[in-house]
Amino acid sequence: MTTIPFIEPNLRYFSSIDKIDEHTNFYDELNWNFNDFLSNKFKYLYVVGEPGNGKSRLMQEIAIKRNKTLYIDIKRLQGMSIPDYFNNKRKYIFKEEVQSESISKNGFYFKDGFSLENSEDVLICLDAIDEISSEHLSVFREHLQQLQIDYNKCSIILSGRTHNIKNLQDILPDKWEVVLVEKFQLFQVRDILKQQIDGIADSRINELLTSTSKDSFNPFVFHENILQTPRYLMLTLDLLKAKENKHIEKLSQYELFELFIKQKLRKDNEKLKEKIDTSFLFKFLGLLALIMDIKQTNEITKNDFTIILDDVQSDLKQFIFNKITPDDFFDLLF
């Protein structure tokens, strides 16, 4: 599958987390850009935004472009402190032309020769506080507090959703500035489609923007366009570049999301030694979604997943686990 180049999201700076609540005009001029992350103009910085707005890709690109930077996906810490985690990974050597996909897979990144030292030149990027499990959250809070003491000269960027960041306010006494990652404006979506897809006609773009704004169940109701969310725009660009779906602009939102899910399953399935028919994975994911809906939960741990698997009586389950372990299956889906 084609790798989509990094597209800088809309970034807006605030002097504190509380200032976001006071801001009402999100159509005024943007006051932060990607190069600001590569400077030394900040000490402690929150990167906040809703799911799908591109926080993780942004954090990974900062680590790739800026020297003396350590990137860690917080959920990979599993209770370890940041220095201990780095020492455990420090012998790992990345390829010179590393991309965000390989960083996502590994959950960490630093350039060859990087040393975690208490220096003003060092930046520590801690990604996705909103994805850390509840059992590890209190430990992470303690480790983050200690990190600011032991590495008080280093700069830190912490990403997550706004309410997750606010829950850390009591342990972060120093002044933390904020950069909000926003969705694209519709004119930007149009421009990006033209830039990334060779020869795409205006009429096709218009049809795509119309279909992705319509309600899946009531074609007379229109919503905010889903392609304004960077994650969905990137997935759509992937589909368009692959040229496997010639009439993607005629699909409803529901049909497009089905394609997104199948696309991700197919992509992740390629990493397995023993391949699984993705149609089986898709059916199993639907079964899992139904169970989670019945249990009225929107998150699931590996332990919960194992319990659910034990309760499922299905030939589908037996077919899948003849080829893959439950642990690997969990990692594949999530």
List the chain domain ranges. 10-182, 184-271, 272-334
Mean pLDDT, the chain, integer: 81
Say how far apart CA 298 and CA 130 lie, in whole Å: 13
Helix (H) or strand (E) holding 155: strand 155-160
The answer, yes or no, to whether residue 149 has pLDDT greater than 90, is yes
Q: Which residue has the tokens 């996909």?
A: 101
> In the CATH scheme, what is the code of domain 10-182?
3.40.50.12060
pLDDT of residue 222: 60
Structure tokens at 242: 């692959």
pLDDT of residue 280: 59
At 166, phi and psi to the nearest 5? -60, -30
For the beta carbon of residue 80, count every other beta carbon within 10 angstroms: 17
Helix residue spans in 128-201 (DSSP H): 134-150, 162-166, 186-196
Mean pLDDT comparison of 50-64, 130-144, 210-224, 288-302, highest-scoring range: 50-64
Burial 169-185 (b: 16+ CB within 10 A, else e): eeebeeebbbbbbbbbe
**pLDDT mean over 324-331:** 54
Beta bridge partners of residue 12, listed in sequence order: 180
The answer, yes or no, to whether residue 269 has pLDDT greater than 90, is no
pLDDT of residue 213: 86
Nearest to 99 by CA among 3, 186, 207: 3
At 268, phi and psi to the nearest 5? -70, -35
**pLDDT mean over 268-292:** 61
